[in-house]
């Protein structure tokens, strides 16, 4: 693959793209990111991702790196230059590369943020996982306390995916103080007696852009939504379950900690919400 990627104002072949070894994203995980999906060569929920990026940066006292208009232009340029029809655009903003390693934040007048974007081609709409559903295990949530900020501190979520793989499952849900927070890279939901239950917003979870859209569509379709914490015991007794994220949309979950949900196949609520999400998102993609 020879992608054209974006680094600090330049479009360059991926093999020529460079970031300093002193970059704080590399040394300190001092960086935030966004993943925006692309269908039919268009961006899904760009505005939502752009607003969340701004918020993440503000929460970490990062100086503005790129205007929202320019950001949209870069996303579109990357789609065009890489002929991207379906997949994702990954965006990362770091606090930049000062002249040496130091815990103290560099002076924003001297050190400008690093901005990197690249495309990832991937089939998102038609995927075997959506037909089969995911098997989920539960693991302890030992991440830091500001999961509402989308930082690149992804070591524990990566380890969680490996724990799931080792257990013969597809992904993990994280549990804190007895309640499910979220999936390693997605928001978590159960469905019981027609009610959609998902954790309320707070610092404990990422405020998913897909979550916001899916809950809006669910309510518009007269489905009942309850935003509250739930336990793994409740999940094991649910009629069905699913996860949401920019890269998976709505993805059915068919088992939790080895317990099959319903008839062990993707449930009707998850399937319907996936259809609605894809249909509605396509209509307003930019």
Decide if residue 151 touches ligand PDD (CB under 6 A): no
Decide if residue 255 touches ligand PDD (CB under 6 A): no
Decide if residue 208 touches ligand PDD (CB under 6 A): yes
Contacts of 36 (CB under 8 A, 6+ apart): 43, 44, 45, 46, 49, 75, 88, 89, 91, 246
CB of 211 to ligand PDD, least distance (A): 6
CB of 245 to ligand PDD, least distance (A): 4
Distance CA 173, CA 186 (A): 9
Contacts of 108 (CB under 8 A, 6+ apart): 63
Decide if residue 138 touches ligand PDD (CB under 6 A): no
Decide if residue 247 touches ligand PDD (CB under 6 A): yes
Can you spell out the DSSP letters for 59-84? HTTPPP-S-HHHHHHHHHHHHHHTT-
Chain centre to alpha carbon of residue 107: 30
Pick one of 232, 246, 250, 269: the residue that binds ligand PDD (CB under 6 A): 246
| Residue number, 246 or 253, with CB nearest to ligand PDD | 246
| Residue number, 114 or 181, with CB nearest to ligand PDD | 181
| Residue number, 97 or 124, with CB nearest to ligand PDD | 124
Catalytic site includes residue 192: no
Pick one of 82, 244, 255, 281: the residue that binds ligand PDD (CB under 6 A): 244
Contacts of 5 (CB under 8 A, 6+ apart): 11, 12, 13, 14, 17, 78, 116, 117, 118, 119
Applying CB under 6 A, the span of 63-71, 192-200, 216-224, 239-247 interacting with ligand PDD comes to 239-247
Pick one of 82, 245, 255, 281: the residue that binds ligand PDD (CB under 6 A): 245
CB of 154 to ligand PDD, least distance (A): 7
Decide if residue 170 touches ligand PDD (CB under 6 A): no
| Residue number, 97 or 190, with CB nearest to ligand PDD | 190
CB of 90 to ligand PDD, least distance (A): 8
**173's tokens:** 């849900």
Catalytic residue among 135, 150, 165, 192: 150
Pick one of 4, 97, 137, 209: the residue that binds ligand PDD (CB under 6 A): 209
CB of 275 to ligand PDD, least distance (A): 17
Consecutive H or E run containing 116: strand 114-121
Can you spell out the DSSP letters for 190-230? EEETTEEEEPPPSTTS---HHHHHHHHHHHHTT-EEEES--
What 3-state DSSP class applies to 53?
helix
Residues at the interface with ligand PDD (CB under 6 A): 35, 182, 185-187, 206, 208-211, 244-247
Residues identified as active-site: 150
């Amino acid at each position: 693959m020879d992608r054209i990627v974006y680094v600090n104002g330049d479009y360059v072949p991926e093999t020529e793209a460079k970031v300093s070894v002193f970059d704080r994203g590399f040394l300190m995980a001092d960086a935030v990111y966004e993943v925006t999906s692309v269908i039919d060569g268009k961006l899904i929920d760009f505005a939502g991702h752009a607003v969340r990026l701004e918020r993440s940066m503000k929460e970490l006292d990062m100086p503005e790196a790129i205007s929202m208009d320019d950001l949209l232009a870069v996303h579109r340029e990357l789609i065009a230059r890489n002929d991207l029809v379906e997949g994702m655009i990954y965006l990362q903003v770091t606090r930049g590369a000062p002249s040496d390693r130091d815990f103290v934040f560099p002076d924003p007048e001297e050190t400008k943020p690093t901005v990197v974007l690249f495309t990832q081609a991937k089939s998102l709409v038609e995927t075997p996982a959506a037909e089969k559903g995911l098997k989920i295990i539960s693991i302890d949530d030992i991440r830091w306390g500001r999961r509402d900020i989308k930082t690149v501190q992804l070591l524990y979520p990566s380890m969680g995916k490996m724990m799931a793989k080792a257990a013969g499952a597809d992904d993990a849900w994280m549990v804190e103080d007895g309640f499910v927070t979220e999936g390693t890279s997605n928001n978590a939901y159960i469905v019981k007696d027609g009610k959609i239950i998902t954790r309320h917003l707070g610092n404990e979870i990422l405020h998913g852009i897909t979550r916001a859209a899916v809950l809006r569509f669910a309510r518009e379709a007269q489905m009942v939504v309850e935003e509250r914490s739930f336990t793994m015991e409740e999940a094991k007794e649910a009629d069905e379950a699913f996860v949401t994220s920019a890269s998976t949309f709505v993805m059915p979950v068919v088992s939790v900690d080895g317990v099959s949900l319903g008839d062990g196949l993707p449930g009707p609520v998850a399937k319907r919400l996936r259809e609605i999400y894809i249909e509605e998102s396509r209509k307003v993609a930019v």
